[in-house]
């Protein structure tokens, strides 16, 4: 009975009571002292709990948090500059190498030597190249690799969107 | 002047106006701090957890989807941060008490609260802080922040039914304590 009282009172407070139960509540309020005591006390609690006092956060919390966020951001920016700098140095090296390569191309002897090396390599690797070209020409292989390529591209797109979003999409799929 | 909504502030922060995040901090700092004081039962730890919560929320703003309210999402971050600190302090056992243990746990606290409370309302409001963690959190989120029981269940990572049971148990516990001190006589 005690649990029944509790259930009825909680249903009443949560606005989940039906008309039969409401009648029961009204009857019990008139005829049952224990129920009445519980009901009045619980109703009082329900009506007063929205006045629970808040604990005041430290006054400087906003400055502290914003300071941490902004200092993290400036470290990130510094990191970006670091990687950009390395990229720029690598690009300079690449251009210098290309410049020397093309300037040496003018020397015919080097070109002739290079061509003969290419011919030698072609003969040496001919059976392997033939084997792989047969596989590549196979329709099933091409379809499968096409599909695989498409899946990889889609995965890349989704993972760029966001990792969480990507996970959700895979789950839905 | 029109008050900016949480979503408008977040959009602005994500566009690069980082300083707008201070509006979110000002808006939620006291509520989040109250939750953390209830979880950790210690203001020093709560202060540290509060900073962590705001920084974690900022770092995860990109993951926030408008599927739920910002407050629900943010309180979940706060709750999880509080739990992480709590488990590191090995006080997690307090979280897992059942209803019978609730009464034993509250008994010692109750005497102290009753002795310092001037009237039934102050007694009731002070008592909320002394309840076991999840019992007080469910009351704070439901009454102070007007979250629906579904939102409370999301924050506390409970099923809807369990969140409802917890709310009812918490109210029943408060009621039993009020009756124990004969406060119901003033209400009749």
Task: Inform me whether the pLDDT recorded for A61 exceeds 60.
Answer: yes
| Chain A positions in Cβ-Cβ contact with residue B128 (cut-off 8 Å) | 49, 52
**Cα dist from B79 to B29, B115, B137, B141, B164, whole Å:** 14, 31, 9, 11, 18
Query: CB distance A48–B62 less than 8 Å?
Result: no
Task: Give pLDDT, residue B153.
Answer: 93
- Mean pLDDT in residue range A36-54: 88
Query: CB distance B47–A57 less than 8 Å?
Result: yes
Cβ atoms of B130 and B113 closer than 8 Å = yes
**pLDDT tens for each residue of A13-30:** 988 889 999 999 999 999
Task: Give pLDDT, residue A161.
Answer: 66
**pLDDT tens for each residue of A32-42:** 998 999 999 99
DSSP-assigned states of every residue in B147-160: --HHHHHHHTT--H
Name A27's Cβ contacts closer than 8 Å, sequence gap at least 6: none
Both tokens assigned to B26: 């000002």
Cβ atoms of B135 and B170 closer than 8 Å = yes
- Which residue in chain A is spatially nearest to B59 when comparing CA positions? A69
From the CA of A13, how many Å to the nearest CA of chain B? 10
Name B82's Cβ contacts closer than 8 Å, sequence gap at least 6: B35, B36, B39, B40, B46, B49, B53
**pLDDT tens for each residue of A135-169:** 777 778 778 888 888 888 887 777 666 565 656 66
Cβ atoms of B45 and B85 closer than 8 Å = yes
Query: CB distance B34–A37 less than 8 Å?
Result: no
**At A168, phi and psi to the nearest 5?**
-60, -40
From the CA of B35, how many Å to the nearest CA of chain A? 9
Task: Give pLDDT, residue A72.
Answer: 80
- What is the percentage of chain A residues whose pLDDT exceeds 90? 20
Task: Give pLDDT, residue B132.
Answer: 84
- Mean pLDDT in residue range A57-83: 81
Task: Give pLDDT, residue B128.
Answer: 85
From the CA of A139, how many Å to the nearest CA of chain B? 42
Task: Give pLDDT, residue B26.
Answer: 94
Name A141's Cβ contacts closer than 8 Å, sequence gap at least 6: A135
Q: Is A118 left (phi over 0), alpha (psi -120 to 50) or beta?
A: alpha
Please write down the HEC assignment for all residues of A121-156.
Answer: HHHHHHHHHHHHHHHHHCHHHHHHHHHHHHHHHHHH
Give chain B's mean pLDDT.
84
| Chain B positions in Cβ-Cβ contact with residue A73 (cut-off 8 Å) | 18
Minimum-distance CB partner of B184 among A37, A55, A64: A37
Nearest Cα residue to B136 out of B151, B124, B120? B124
pLDDT range class, residue A12, cuts 50, 70, 90: very high
HSE of A67, CA atoms in CB hemisphere, 13 A: 6
Helix/strand/coil for A157: helix
| Chain A positions in Cβ-Cβ contact with residue B26 (cut-off 8 Å) | 62
Query: CB distance A58–B47 less than 8 Å?
Result: yes
| Chain B positions in Cβ-Cβ contact with residue A65 (cut-off 8 Å) | 25, 51, 54-55, 58
Q: Which residues of chain B have pLDDT under 70?
A: 1, 90-105, 184-185, 187-188
Instruction: For residues B89 and B162, give the distance between their C-alpha atoms in angstroms, rounded to a whole number.
Output: 26
- Mean pLDDT in residue range A116-143: 77
Task: Give pLDDT, residue A139.
Answer: 79
Query: CB distance B124–A6 less than 8 Å?
Result: no
What is the H or E stretch that residue B141 is in?
A: none
Report the complex ipTM: 0.79
Instruction: For residues A82 and A77, give the distance between their C-alpha atoms in angstroms, rounded to a whole number.
Output: 9
Minimum-distance CB partner of B33 among A42, A57, A70: A57
């Amino acid at each position: 009975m005690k649990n029944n009282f509790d259930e009825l009172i909680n249903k009443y407070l949560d606005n989940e009571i039906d008309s039969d139960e409401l009648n029961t509540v009204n009857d019990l309020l008139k005829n049952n002292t224990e129920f009445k005591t519980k009901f009045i006390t619980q109703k009082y609690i329900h009506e007063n709990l929205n006045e629970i006092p808040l604990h005041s956060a430290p006054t400087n919390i906003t400055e502290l948090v914003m300071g941490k966020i902004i200092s993290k951001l400036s470290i990130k920016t510094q990191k970006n500059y670091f990687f950009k700098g390395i990229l720029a140095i690598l690009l300079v090296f690449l251009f210098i190498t290309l410049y020397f390569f093309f300037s040496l191309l003018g020397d015919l002897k080097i070109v002739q030597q290079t061509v003969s090396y290419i011919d030698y390599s072609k003969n040496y690797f001919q059976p392997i190249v033939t084997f792989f070209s047969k596989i590549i020409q196979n329709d099933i292989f091409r379809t499968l690799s096409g599909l695989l390529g498409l899946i990889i591209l889609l995965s890349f797109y989704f993972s760029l969107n966001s990792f969480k979003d990507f996970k959700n999409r895979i789950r839905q799929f | 002047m029109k008050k900016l909504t949480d979503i408008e502030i977040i959009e602005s922060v994500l566009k690069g106006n980082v300083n707008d995040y201070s509006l979110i901090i000002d808006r939620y700092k006291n509520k989040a701090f109250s939750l953390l004081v209830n979880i950790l039962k210690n203001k020093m730890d709560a202060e540290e957890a509060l900073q962590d919560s705001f920084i974690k929320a900022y770092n995860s703003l990109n993951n926030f989807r408008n599927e739920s309210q910002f407050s629900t999402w943010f309180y979940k971050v706060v709750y999880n941060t509080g739990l992480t600190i709590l488990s590191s302090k090995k006080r997690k056992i307090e979280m897992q008490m059942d209803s019978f243990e609730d009464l034993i746990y509250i008994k010692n606290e109750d005497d102290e609260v009753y002795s310092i409370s001037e009237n039934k309302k102050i007694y009731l409001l002070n008592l909320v802080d002394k309840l076991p963690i999840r019992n007080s959190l469910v009351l704070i989120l439901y009454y102070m922040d007007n979250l629906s029981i579904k939102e409370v269940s999301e924050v506390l990572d409970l099923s809807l039914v369990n969140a409802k049971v917890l709310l009812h148990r918490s109210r029943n516990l408060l009621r039993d304590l009020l009756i124990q001190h004969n406060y119901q006589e003033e209400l009749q």
